[in-house]
Amino acid sequence: MDKLDRKILNIIQQDGRISIKKIAEKCFISAPSASVRLQNLENHGFINSYTANVNYEKLGYLIKAFVRLDVSYKEMPKFVKFIAKVPNVVECNYITGDAAVQLKVFYKTMTELNEFNASLKDFGNTHTNVAFTTNIGPRPLRLPEK
């Protein structure tokens, strides 16, 4: 990975739909060269996917919450299977601190969030924080181009 590859990654993080031609122009390289570099970044696992940044509030999902859960090591495989089937969970992270897992979820109502929390009781105690506003994010990680 060189300076040009990092520049390409920064460009496509800002706009995943940008054309190869535009990438080439911004990097001062030919379109075929940009295409090869992009393909190499994909092949080596630096690019997982190209996705849209959806505004969940516009879709009626007004509740964004972070749910921390103290799942035992023994229950973790069962928990992961369960949580993978819940479409409102957009992130599941193993964390350090007072809990084992942190979930990022979106729900339309507090009642739905409460029902979700109740469904987790078999796995452990939950600690839920609802976000009032998001001041920054989601945003890409800006890679140094050195």
Please tell me the pTM assigned to this model.
0.85
DSSP per residue over 81-132, as a string? HHHHT-TTEEEEEE-SSS-SEEEEEEESSHHHHHHHHHHTTTT--EEEEEES
The pLDDT of residue 146 is above 80: no
> For position 138, what pLDDT does the model report?
84
Alpha-carbon distances of 63 from 59, 76, 98, rounded to whole Å? 11, 26, 23
> For position 31, what pLDDT does the model report?
98
CATH class of the domain comprising 3-43: mainly alpha
Counting every residue written for the chain, the total comes to: 146
Q: Out of 3.10.20.30, 3.30.70.920, 3.30.70.360, 3.40.50.12280, which CATH number does the structure's domain 57-131 have?
A: 3.30.70.920
Task: Specify the residue for token string 């849209």.
Answer: 52
> For position 4, what pLDDT does the model report?
97
* Domain positions in the chain: 3-43, 57-131
Q: What is the pLDDT of residues 2-22, one digit of tens each?
A: 999 999 999 999 999 999 999
Q: What is the pLDDT of residues 48-89, one digit of tens each?
A: 999 888 999 999 999 999 999 999 999 999 999 999 999 999
Instruction: Return the beta strands (E) in 14-99 as ranges.
Output: 63-69, 89-94
Q: What is the pLDDT of residues 80-119, one digit of tens each?
A: 999 999 999 999 999 999 999 999 999 999 999 999 999 9
Alpha-carbon distances of 128 from 23, 90, 116, 117, 133, rounded to whole Å? 42, 15, 11, 8, 15
Residue 27 phi/psi, 5-degree rounding, is -100, -5
